Structure 1
Amino acid sequence: MSNTQGASVNLLSLDRSAMENYFLDMGEKSFRAQQLLQWVYQKKVIRFPDMTDLSKRLRQTLQQNTNLDLPEIVSQQRSTDGTFKWLLKLKDGNCIESVYIPESGRGTLCVSSQVGCGLNCTFCATARQGFNRNLDVDEIISQVWIANNVLEAIENKPENCFVRDVADQRRPVTNIVMMGMGEPLLNFDNVVSAMRLMMDDYSFGLSMRRVTLSTAGMIPAIDQLRQQCPVSLAVSLHAPDDALRDKLVPLNKKYPIGPLLDCCRRYVGENNRRRVTLEYVMLKGVNDSAEQARALAKIIRHVPAKVNLIPFNPFPQTQFQRSEAETIDRFRDMLLAENIFTVTRTTRGDDIDAACGQLAGDFVDRTSRSRRMQQQTVVFS
């Protein structure tokens, strides 16, 4: 979906501040950035000749020196539950996946931040694929642009209409979770710039509470995020003790549970007006016992957090199984009995491999380290 050939700067890679500076360097007024943002993100116009409130000379200059290129949609799948998944081809031939989950009154888009992931969490399909590179800002924000554009086109067809309950909702995507492929905080600068675009009034205009970043626990980067762009935070915990979490989330060896929970408290601050979401994938016979529920309640009792229990979603060659429904319910009820707000995430899109932990993409290359990790089996006792 390209509008020009050989251009050097993709304007989708610039947040408002960077775009204002770009126009100033051209000798233009900074308000041109606001105009262009509105054309691209609110009017969904990506052809410079159609941006009629820009001068003809400026449009020609932009056409010659910049682009608004988007990834190519390789495939689009729709689950029986209404979930959409897109496989998007990037400029270097790599492919990533994005997932849209429609719900009553809102629509959530799960956005990728890397081509693959290098953290090697043992229960995640993305980690099995290895790691290639970080996504650029334009490759992150394009996922939102494409989802809104495609879904609005579908919604305008009566035979494909899906009802939204919010009367003033302007777009299908009302919430964004940086929970797709990759560890967002290992691509800090690009992810923050993209999230600022998501929240910019001249772009998608989402509120800070409607943008959530999920991390495996990069403590220094979480502290930095709190200072620069304090969106809603989700932390992949998945275990009540360091010995088990070391196996499930190898990053725990560097940033263990105690310091990580302290970091969560810092992120929320003294007023505790918000809660951190602690994600906990339910693995049969691994982390789902009554004893482990009690241990989890004990360590998070004084953390301003809510727990999101995630039934494990299987993928090829995994050693794990999903906990039984009654086991998950018992685990949830034990946490609730300790006054810890806990919900069980409804599995969505698993029939098209779009559920949590199932995104894989298609990569041109992977690190040899990640290939070795694919061949290793961790023993849980």
Structure 2
Amino acid sequence: MNATATLKRNGVQNIRHLSLPDLEQYFGTMGEPKFRAKQVWEWIWQKGAQSFADMTNLSKDLRQKLGEHFALPALSVDATQYSADGTIKSRFRTHEGHLCEGVLIPTEDRFTACVSSQIGCSLACKFCATGYIDRKRNIDFDEIYDEVVLLNQQSERVYNRKLTNIVFMGMGEPLLNYKNMMKAIERITAPDGLAMSPRRITVSTAGVAKGIRQLGDDGVKFKLALSLHAPNDAKRNEIMNINASNDLKSLVDALNYFYQKTKNEITLEYILFKDFNDSTKDAEELVKLYRQIPADLVNIIEYNPIDLAKFEKPTEEATAAFMAYLAKHKVNARLRRSRGKDIDAACGQLANKEAV
């Protein structure tokens, strides 16, 4: 059950699930001027109101009436951890007590919010901490929006800088929460929302071919990343259950379809695992796969150990040899050093763990 269903069962409606015309109609029935709807709209989408009490340019009586008729189930920050490298991990709590995590990743020229799309995950990828958590529910679009707002406020407070980028690379599979993911991005990019360029947003998928094709049909403007992590079906089947129903051929076809429809940037994400996918033979297969896909970049990612998985990080020599092979064969590849490892905020480590 999602958050909206829970609220409806309790007899109240989430005010953020109303359109501006809906709000105008509501205020009209109350005999209030039309501009009140615009004021409330600005509070919930631009000023980051966490409650009706925050809406200080409305009368106390009007705020009370709104509270009687509607709910404003905003996310709250439940815990925050600070890494030695400047990365900040936040654990968010939903109105009914579920937890999810988001990460603020600062670099010299970018301040990136890594957001979650589901409470837990159903894909059970063997190397990912979130994969060992049962999926409780999808995160509603307004809650995803809250993640971005809260991480932006954090960035302004700690670094005096607004977010420059957003990546859907946190907990969950975005393409299995398609409608909420799309609606969240619509609000994030709207002029009366956060007005962020869709070109600064990347959605990462473990490989939902049908969803990738749908993104193409919908003509999206944001970037797409595929969590590949293995150069052939046999190895991918070992670590990613989704490959059984979305094999590499179906993904190659879907990515080509997406690019044909959108011409948007595609990135391949490839975590290196010691003695599993880090050999010259693996690099050779990755090159062959890369040449079948209109990918702009291959991100080679350091593996970040988790308690429940058996994988290890390759040696520096093996990593260097892998990168050298890709460079020799003219693959546009970048080695991505993980951030926030000391607070379990790096790639694959999000699991709602208690701070220690």
Q: Name the TM-score, length of structure 1 as normaliser.
A: 0.81
The residue matched to 2:236 in structure 1 has which SS? Answer: helix
Instruction: Say yes or no: does 1:176 pair with 2:166.
Output: yes
Q: Which residue of 2 aligns with 1:148?
A: 152
The answer on whether the counterparts of 1:11 and 1:66 sit within 8 Å (CA) in structure 2 is yes
Q: Distance in 2 between matches of 1:359 and 1:121?
A: 13
Shift of the alpha carbon at 1:203? 1.2
Q: Does 1:310 align with 2:301?
A: yes
Residue 91 (1) aligns with residue 95 (2): yes
Q: Which residue number in structure 1 is paired with residue 249 of structure 2?
A: 258
How far apart are 1:33 and its partner, in Å?
6.2
Which residues in structure 2 correspond to 1:1-381 (within 5 Å)? 8-12=12-16, 14=17, 18-26=18-26, 28=28, 35-48=39-52, 51=55, 59=63, 61-152=65-156, 154-155=157-158, 162=159, 164=161, 171=162, 173-228=163-218, 229-269=220-260, 272=263, 274-305=264-295, 306-361=297-352
Q: What displacement does 1:339 show?
A: 2.1
Residues 301 and 139 from structure 1, CA distance in 2 versus in 1: closer, same or farther, beyond 3 angstroms? same
Q: Matched residues in 2 for 1:271 and 1:225: separation? A: 9
> Against the structure 1 CA distance between its residues 327 and 36, is the aligned structure 2 distance closer, same or farther, given a 3 Å change threshold?
farther
Instruction: For 2:79 and 2:112, locate their aligned partners in 1 and report how far apart those are by CA, in whole Å.
Output: 19
What is the rounded CA distance, in whole Å, between the counterparts of 2:293 and 2:37 in structure 1? Answer: 41
In structure 2, C-alpha distance between the alignment counterparts of 1:300 and 1:289, rounded to whole Å: 16
- Tell me if structure 1 keeps the 8 A contact 2:120–2:130: yes
Alpha-carbon distance in structure 2 between the residues aligned to 1:163 and 1:97:
22
Matched pairs, number: 339
C-alpha displacement of 1:201 = 1.3
Amino acid at match of 2:75: P
Provide closer, same or farther for how the CA distance between residues 175 and 197 of structure 1 changes in structure 2, counting only shifts above 3 A: same
Task: Give, in angstroms, the shift of residue 38 of structure 1.
Answer: 3.1
- Equivalent pair of 1:34/1:202 in contact (CA under 8 Å): no
Alignment-mate amino acid for residue 361 of structure 1: N
Distance 1:106 1:330 in 2: 29
- Contact kept, 8 Å, 2:233 with 2:248, in 1: the verdict is yes
Question: Offset of 1:63 from its aligned partner?
Answer: 3.1
CA distance in 2, matches of 1:357, 1:301: 27
CA distance in 2, matches of 1:270, 1:198: 23
Letter in 2 for 1:213: V
Amino acid at match of 2:23: F
Letter of the aligned partner of 2:19 in structure 1? M
Judge conservation of contact 1:279–1:307 (CA < 8 Å) in 2.
yes
Deviation at 1:328, TM superposition (A): 1.9
Equivalent position SS for 1:180: coil
Alignment check: 8 A CA contact 1:19 1:33 kept = no
2:116 is paired with a residue whose SS is: coil
Q: Distance in 2 between matches of 1:174 and 1:325?
A: 31
From the superposition, tell whether residues 11 and 226 of structure 1 become closer, same or farther in structure 2 (CA, over 3 Å): farther
* Letter aligned with residue 284 of structure 2: R
Q: Is the 8 A contact 1:42 1:203 kept in 2?
A: yes
Structure 2: distance between partners of 1:322 and 1:60: 56
User: Conserved in 2, the CA contact under 8 Å of 1:20 and 1:30?
Assistant: no
**CA displacement, residues 19-60 of structure 1 (integer Å, 9 cap, x when unaligned):** 234325526599876644433343334454664676888655
Separation in 1, partners of 2:57, 2:216: 38
Percent of aligned positions with the same letter in both sequences? 39
Q: Deviations over 1:132-174 (max 9, x none)?
A: 221122321111122222333x33xxxxxx365xxxxxx2x22
SS of the aligned residue for 2:103 comes to strand
Q: CA RMSD in A?
A: 2.6
Contact 2:27 2:36 (C-alpha < 8 Å) held by counterparts: no
Q: Distance in 2 between matches of 1:91 and 1:45?
A: 15
Q: Which runs of 5+ in 1 are unaligned?
A: 1-5, 156-161, 165-170, 364-381
Structure 1 residues 30 and 255 mapped into 2: Cα distance closer, same or farther (>3 Å)? farther
Report the Cα offset of residue 284 of structure 1: 0.4
- Higher relative CO (CA 8 A, sep ≥ 6), structure 1 or 2? 1
SS at match of 1:131: coil
Query: Structure 1's 120 and 348: CA in aligned 2 closer, same or farther, altered over 3 A?
Result: same
Superposed displacement of residue 268, structure 1: 1.5
SS across alignment from 1:26: helix
